[in-house]
Each structure stands twice: as structure tokens, then as C-alpha cells.
Amino acid sequence: MTRLSRDDVVKAVDRADDVTIAQIIGTGATAEELAEAQAWLANDEPMINDLRPLAQGRVRELVDILSELEEDDEEVGSAAPGSGSAVG
């Protein structure tokens, strides 16, 4: 198992900025661990039903990083349209 490269992260994580990419690579995680973290975020119920232990170690770090990225996306998406200054 090899550690993630920048290209691996860019392909796997939409809208990841340079800081987030660096954080993900900095965990030392593998592509398999990133996929597991994404599975936990997508829907943890099946993982729990399979009696899998909660995410730990690098997978837990990745879950935390990816969940922050999702929170940032939600905040940007919740801004009211037209709330900025009018240009003209």
C-alpha cells in the first residue's frame, strides 16, 4: 500500500483546496484509508451494522478533514443570493 499522492487526492476529493490536499497527504494515509473515510462520511449506518469499529487512526483524521470540507461547502451554499453588493 502506497501513500496518497496529490493526484490521488485531487481525483478522490472534489473541491479540495491546496491546504486540504496537504492535510490529507500529511496524514500518511493510503488510497484505501481515504476510501474508507469517504464511506464513513457518505453513510455510517451500514458500516456500524457490519459491526465495524468506529473510524480510528488515519481514517479518523481523514474523516475529520473531509467533514470540515463538507461544512465549508454547506456554509458557502447557504449564503443568501443577492446578499452581496450590487455592481453597476
Of 20, 22, 21, 12, which Cα lies nearest the Cα of 42? 12
| pLDDT recorded at residue 87 | 47
Beta strands in 1-88 (DSSP E): none
- Check residue 41 and give its pLDDT: 86
- Taking only the tens place, the pLDDT of each residue in 62-88 is 999 999 887 776 676 665 455 454 444
Is the predicted pLDDT of residue 4 greater than 50, yes or no?
yes
Instruction: Please give the pLDDT value at position 70.
Output: 79
Model pLDDT, residue 46:
58
pLDDT digit string, tens, across residues 9-50: 999 998 899 999 999 999 999 999 999 999 888 886 656 666
Judge if pTM exceeds 0.85: no
Boundaries of every domain in the chain: 6-68
